[in-house]
């Protein structure tokens, strides 16, 4: 018989910064400090959703290994700065953003024009420095995702499109350590100290709650498993949309079409898969009718099986 102790522990938060939170979770049964700490750290760093720039197109620039006259930074450095811009966006649909500025002066993240449903978390980030008269026009795509996405060169279409690696995670750093704590006269309990730094698009408390929710969902599938629906992939039989046509739709005489329907051959697909000797045995059909069916199918570029 296994007796599970009642789970009673407290979570205290220290630190008042928007992008930093220190959480003290105790008392935990011996060993559970590392169990929770390791699990939460992994999920916090890899599985929380975020948004990032995934591709850019710069007017007058054909590839990233070049320069733009009048801009202090080369294109590689400029693109690296764009990758640092953090967006708060909770939709799955990709969106387009633009950057259109003219020098002289600094170009900052806040100069990026984005839709109303997206927020730039670090608007004062400097992207580039332009000389007088220099114009910078950039089109970019922002997408949602989790973890880190390597650039997909195969998705590159057209000269001038620069695909980017993207870090979607709103959590930039997680530290955890476990200390011993006392409960009454017992000293073998754990105290988990968890520190979370975010990029400003999500506060640490929400990050901790979301990570915990993801772990709960996995454990729930073990406790009360739900059956997964297997996707049945339809094998391409080469008929395409023609296979879905009814026998009445392929210009057969009414008598022949009715006989086929009564025999269970209602579609072109069913008809093509039937053997010729099966069709001959259908009431009110004969060799002459089979030739008529053959001719009608030939008009659709299909034939009966021999």
- Is 120 inside any structural domain? yes
Half-sphere exposure of 114 (CA within 13 A, CB side): 25
In a domain, 218, yes or no: yes
Q: Which of 9-13, 56-60, 246-250 has the lowest mean pLDDT?
A: 246-250
In a domain, residue 202? The reply is yes
Among 146, 30, 141, residue whose Cα is nearest residue 85: 141
Q: What pairs with residue 293 in β-bridges?
A: none
* 41 vs 235, residue with greater confidence: 41
Q: What pLDDT does residue 286 have?
A: 75
Is residue 84 a contact partner of residue 125, using CB atoms and an 8 Å limit? yes
User: Per-residue confidence at 239, pLDDT binned at 50, 70, 90?
Assistant: low
195 and 273, same domain (yes or no): no
**CATH number for the domain harbouring residue 281:** 1.10.150.20
Asked if residue 61 and residue 162 are part of one domain, the reply reads: yes
**In this predicted structure, what is the pLDDT of residue 248?**
75
Q: Do the bridges between strand 186-198 and strand 166-167 make them parallel or antiparallel, or are there none, so unpaired?
A: unpaired
Residue 2 pLDDT > 60: no
- Write down which residue in 166, 187, 203 finishes a domain: 166
Write the DSSP string, the chain. Answer: ---PPP---EEEEE---TTEEEEEEEEE-TTHHHHHHHHHHHHHHHSSEEEEEEEEEETT-SSSSS--TTBSS-HHHHHHHHHT--EE---SS-EEEEEEEESSEEEEGGGSB--TT-EES-TT-EEEEE-TT-EEEEEEEEEEEESEE---GGG--STTEEE--EE--SEEEEEEEEEEEEETTEEEEEEEEEEEEE-SSS-HHHHHHHHHHHHHHHHHHHHS--PPPPP-PPP--S-GGGGGSBGGGTT--HHHHHHHHHTT--BHHHHHHSBHHHHHTSTT--HHHHHHHHHHHHTTT---B-
Residue 210 maps to a domain? yes
What confidence score (pLDDT) does residue 1 get?
A: 30
- Note whether 54 and 162 are same-domain residues: yes
Torsion angle in degrees (nearest 10) through CA of 77, 78, 79, 83:
100
98 near 140, Cβ under 8 Å?
Answer: yes
Closest by CA position to 99, among listed 69, 130, 61, 56: 56
- Are both 139 and 158 inside the same structural domain? yes
Residues 148 and 198 in one domain: no
* Same domain for 195 and 284: no
pLDDT tens by residue, 64-120: 888 999 999 999 999 999 999 999 998 889 999 999 999 899 999 999 999 999 999
Same domain, 115 and 152: yes
pLDDT of residue 243: 72
Confidence bin at 303 (pLDDT 50/70/90): confident
Tell whether 54 and 160 lie within a shared domain: yes
> Is 90 exceeded by the pLDDT of residue 242?
no
Residues composing the chain: 306
Q: Is 156 found in the same domain as 54?
A: yes
Q: Across the chain, what does the average pLDDT equal?
A: 85
CATH for 210: 3.30.1360.10
Beta bridge partner(s), residue 51: 87, 144
Question: Are residues 253 and 188 part of one domain?
Answer: no
Q: Which of 10-14, 81-85, 137-141, 267-271 has the lowest mean pLDDT?
A: 267-271
Give the residue-averaged pLDDT of 153-180. 85
Q: 96 is written with which tokens?
A: 């387009």
User: 77 or 285, which is more confident?
Assistant: 77
C-alpha to C-alpha distance for 247 and 266, rounded to whole angstroms: 6
Q: Work out the pLDDT band at 230, boundaries 50, 70, 90.
A: low
Q: What is the pLDDT of residue 279?
A: 76
108 and 70 fall within a common domain: yes
State the residue range of the domain holding 290. 240-298
Number of independent structural domains in the chain: 3
Question: Is 215 part of a structural domain of the chain?
Answer: yes
What CATH number is associated with residue 103? 2.170.120.12
Q: Is the pLDDT of residue 276 over 90?
A: no
Question: For residue 270, how far is the Cα from the chain centroid?
Answer: 39
- 145 shares its domain with 212: no
Please check whether residue 230 lies inside any domain of the structure: no
Query: Does 234 map to a domain?
Result: no
pLDDT tens, 171-221? 999 999 999 998 878 888 999 999 999 999 999 999 999 999 999 999 999
**Domain assignment of residue 4, yes or no:** no
């Amino acid at each position: 018989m296994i007796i599970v102790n009642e789970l009673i522990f407290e979570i205290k938060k220290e630190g008042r910064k928007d992008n930093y939170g220190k959480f003290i979770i105790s008392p935990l049964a011996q060993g559970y400090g590392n169990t929770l700490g390791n699990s939460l750290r992994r999920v916090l760093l890899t599985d929380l959703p975020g948004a990032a720039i995934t591709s850019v197109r710069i007017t007058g620039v054909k590839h990233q290994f070049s320069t733009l006259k009048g801009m202090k930074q080369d294109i590689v450095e400029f693109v690296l700065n764009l990758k640092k811009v953090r967006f708060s966006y909770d939709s799955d649909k990709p969106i387009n953003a633009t950057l259109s500025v003219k020098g002289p002066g600094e170009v900052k993240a806040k100069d990026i024009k984005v839709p109303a449903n997206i927020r730039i978390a670090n608007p004062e980030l400097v992207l580039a420095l332009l000389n007088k008269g220099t114009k910078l026009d950039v089109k970019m795509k922002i997408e949602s995702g989790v973890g880190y996405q390597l650039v997909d060169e195969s998705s590159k279409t057209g000269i001038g499109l620069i695909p980017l690696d993207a870090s979607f995670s709103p959590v930039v750093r997680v530290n955890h350590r476990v200390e011993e704590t006392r409960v009454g006269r017992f000293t073998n309990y754990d105290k988990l100290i968890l520190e979370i730094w975010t990029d400003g698009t999500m506060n640490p408390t929400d990050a901790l709650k979301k990570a915990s929710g993801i772990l709960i969902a996995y454990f729930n599938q073990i406790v009360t498993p739900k059956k997964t629906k297997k996707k049945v992939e339809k094998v391409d039989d080469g008929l395409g949309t023609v296979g879905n046509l009814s026998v009445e739709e392929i210009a057969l005489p009414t008598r022949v079409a009715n006989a086929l329907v009564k025999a269970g051959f209602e579609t072109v697909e069913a008809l093509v898969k039937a053997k010729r000797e099966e069709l001959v045995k259908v009431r009110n059909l004969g060799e002459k009718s089979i030739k008529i069916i053959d001719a009608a199918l030939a008009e659709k570029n299909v034939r009966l099986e021999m």
